[in-house]
Amino acid sequence: MTTDADVIIAGAGPAGTMAAYELARQGVSVLILEKSQFPRYKVCGAGLTHKILQEIPFDVSPVFETTVNTVIFSRGFRDVFTRTSAEPLIYCTMRDRFDAFLLSKAVEAGARVLHGIKVDDVRQEKEFAEVITRTGSFRSRLVIGADGASSAVARSAGLRENIMPGLAWEAEVTAGPAVVKAYSQSIFLDWGSFPGGYAWLFPKADHFSIGVGGPASLSKGMMDYYRRFVDYLAAGSWQDESRMNNEYRILNNEFRNKNSGIDILNTISLKSWPIPVRVKRSRFHEGRVMVAGDAGGLTDPLTGEGIYYAVRSGRLAAEACFKYLGSTNPSLDSYTQVVNDELMSELIEANRIKYLFNTAPVKIHSFVRDSDRAWRAFGKILRGERWYADVRLGFGKWKFLWSLGCRVSKWVSDYREKRFGDVMM
Ligand SMILES: Cc1cc2nc3c(=O)[nH]c(=O)nc-3n(C[C@H](O)[C@H](O)[C@H](O)COP(=O)(O)OP(=O)(O)OC[C@H]3O[C@@H](n4cnc5c(N)ncnc54)[C@H](O)[C@@H]3O)c2cc1C
């Protein structure tokens, strides 16, 4: 039987390119089918947490635009405070550059890529899989669906269960150069007023990415929240100088004389995009087909972070393919198992923490403001030095209290989301 490649990967986002890179490096023939022409814009804050960098086996610093070590927090546009970390928390990039960079590494390693080819369906036969596109079909022994939030591969393999739909709106926004410079090391987060969601400002080289996200069930209220966030940033009343460090205060004063806030000059693009969140352990493969990254619903329900999970699941999928291709008794069961054990157990904990946060946003906001321990834990989680699962383990023999608290808070959180949704109707 002739095939076009041992492994066909649908999608050249971080999940697809990392899988391709790993496979090509091990001498496996890989073909990526990508519907867009690269470089292409992708709606994303493109904040790279330190743990992502630990997971990528080459240096991605050439595409960093800013390095963030300060977070400005507000709770429903009130109670603003600033926290600074000695170590970088997040590196911001733009996804057209980041994704093109990862793809170039996969191609250098030996992967082939066809742009402008949209995968519509995958049919599984006894000895191969057939990947159907408008311009023809391709055969391979295995298929990795890394085709993002609306994955055609996941749909055709029946791997979409247990996914809770999230949604985000984001705009690329230009501001005066002094303002962009002043906030080049800071992100702004407003949380606690939109149940299960939050608003953010991420600094880029010459502009800001400003967005809001939350459960898709509350999508009706999201645009209003976004507008209020932008108006609030522009008004500038949030500049709580009392808690800013010196360097920050000087920069802030520099432009404050000219502007009362973030002087938004131009919205380049405003787009919405789904954020699929898998809430239960599930199957991540069916026959010869696996799903990775957003196609598998592997995003953090608390923060919306998905690049880490895309990169990690892409690498795990590559490992599973490699084992499968070298085995006399091949199976992809180990992929579903490792994704559930490693990634889903973390995402399930993140979901529990989200419920707690929805239940007591005022307390958690004050806790991060007043407790150095809480702030350090926040930084450690972003840097991948601690995991959500460590929070539960920290309860030791009182773990049952944690589970009980989470159960109650899920109930309160669901109720609050529903009430918020009813008010919007
Ligand atoms: C507004 C917003 C902000 C975000 N901010 C962050 C953040 O700051 N940090 C973070 O870690 N995560 C963030 N995320 C999540 C992050 O964008 C995703 O989790 C991540 O992009 C998933 O990577 P992926 O490779 O699985 O999918 P994608 O990056 O979506 O890549 C999928 C690729 O597949 C291609 N494709 C789609 N369909 C097909 C098809 N049928 N055939 C062929 N190709 C196809 C697409 O063109 C695309 O290139 C954000 C998400 C949103 C919506």
- Give the pLDDT confidence score for residue 238 in this predicted structure: 61
**Per the domain annotation, does 3 fall within a domain?**
no
Counting ligand 1 atoms within 8 A of each CB, the residue from 9, 43, 44 with the most, and so the one to mutate, is 44
Q: Is residue 139 part of a domain?
A: no
Segment 25-40 mean pLDDT: 97
147 in contact with ligand 1, CB cutoff 6 A: yes
Q: How far apart are CA 186 and CA 231, in angstroms?
A: 19
Domain membership flag for residue 199: yes
Residue 294 alpha carbon to ligand 1 centre in Å: 6
Residue 385 has pLDDT above 70, yes or no: yes
| CA dist., res. 211 & res. 203, Å (int) | 12
- Is the pLDDT at 256 greater than 60? The verdict is no
The whole-angstrom separation of Cα 272 and Cα 200 is: 14
CB of residue 44 inside a 6 A radius of ligand 1: yes
The finding on whether 168 has its CB within 6 A of some atom of ligand 1 is yes
Structural domain includes residue 146 = no
pLDDT of residue 255: 38
Residue 238 burial (C-beta neighbours within 10 Å; 0-12, 13-18, 19+): buried
| pLDDT, tens digit, 9 for 90 and up, residues 9-27 | 999 999 999 999 999 999 9
Among the atoms of ligand 1, which is closest to the Cα of residue 294? 26
Question: 373 lies in a domain?
Answer: no
**What is the CA(99)–ligand 1 centre distance, in A?**
10
Residue nearest atom 52 of ligand 1, based on CA coordinates = 44
Closest CA to 13 of 357, 221, 287, 307: 307
pLDDT at residue 247 tops 80: no
Summarised one tens digit per residue, pLDDT across range 112-125 is: 999 999 999 999 99
Separation CA 25–CA 27 (nearest Å): 5
Q: How far, in Å, is the centroid of ligand 1 from the Cα of 15?
A: 9
Looking at the chain, how many residues does it have? 425
Structural domain that includes position 171: 167-273
Using alpha carbons only, how large is the chain's radius of gyration in Å? 22
State how many domains the chain has: 1
Bridge-based pairing of strands 136-145 and 289-291 is parallel
Residue from 294, 315, 343 whose mutation best tests the ligand 1 pocket (most atoms within 8 A of CB): 294
Say if residue 326 is exposed, middle or buried (CB neighbours under 10 Å; 0-12, 13-18, 19+): exposed
What's the gap in Å between 42 CA and the centre of ligand 1? 7
Q: What is the phi-psi region of residue 88: left when phi exceeds 0, alpha when psi lies from -120 to 50, beta otherwise?
A: beta
List the one residue out of 232, 163, 160, 221 whose CA is nearest residue 196.
221
Find the 121 Cα to ligand 1 centroid distance in Å: 19
Q: Which of 42, 35, 71, 58 is nearest to 315 (CA)?
A: 58
Query: Residue 201: beta bridge partners?
Result: 188, 210
Please state the rounded mean pLDDT for residues 415-422: 83
**Does 240 fall in a domain?**
yes
Confidence of residue 253 (pLDDT cuts 50, 70, 90): very low
**Residue 102 resides in a domain:** no
Q: 339 Cβ partners below 8 Å, 6+ apart?
A: 284, 296, 298, 313, 316
Mutate to test the pocket of ligand 1, among 103, 307, 311, 381 (most ligand atoms within 8 A of CB): 307
Is 42 close to ligand 1, i.e. is its CB under 6 Å away?
A: yes
Expressed in angstroms and rounded, the spacing between residue 13 Cα and the centre of ligand 1 is: 6
Number of Cβ within 10 Å of residue 158's Cβ equals: 10
How many other CB atoms are there within 10 angstroms of residue 268's CB atom? 12
Q: Does ligand 1 have an atom closer than 6 angstroms to the CB of 211?
A: yes
Average pLDDT over residues 282-301: 97
How far apart CA 314 and CA 22 sit, in angstroms, is: 9
- Examine residue 232 and state whether it is found in any structural domain, yes or no: yes
Q: Which residues pair with 138 in a beta bridge?
A: 131
| Mean of all residue pLDDT scores within the chain | 89
How far is the centre of ligand 1, averaged over its atoms, from the C-alpha of 378 (Å)? 24
Atom of ligand 1 nearest to the CA of 33: 43
Pick the more confident residue, 168 or 3.
168
Q: What is the Å distance from ligand 1's center to 362 Cα?
A: 32
Ligand 1: which of 8, 35, 143, 212 to mutate, most ligand atoms within 8 Å of CB? 35
Q: Which atom of ligand 1 is nearest to the CA of 271?
A: 1
What confidence category does residue 339 fall into, taking pLDDT thresholds of 50, 70 and 90?
Answer: very high
**Ligand 1 centroid to 45 CA: how many Å?**
11
Q: Which tens digits make up the pLDDT trace of 199-223?
A: 999 999 999 999 999 999 998 889 9
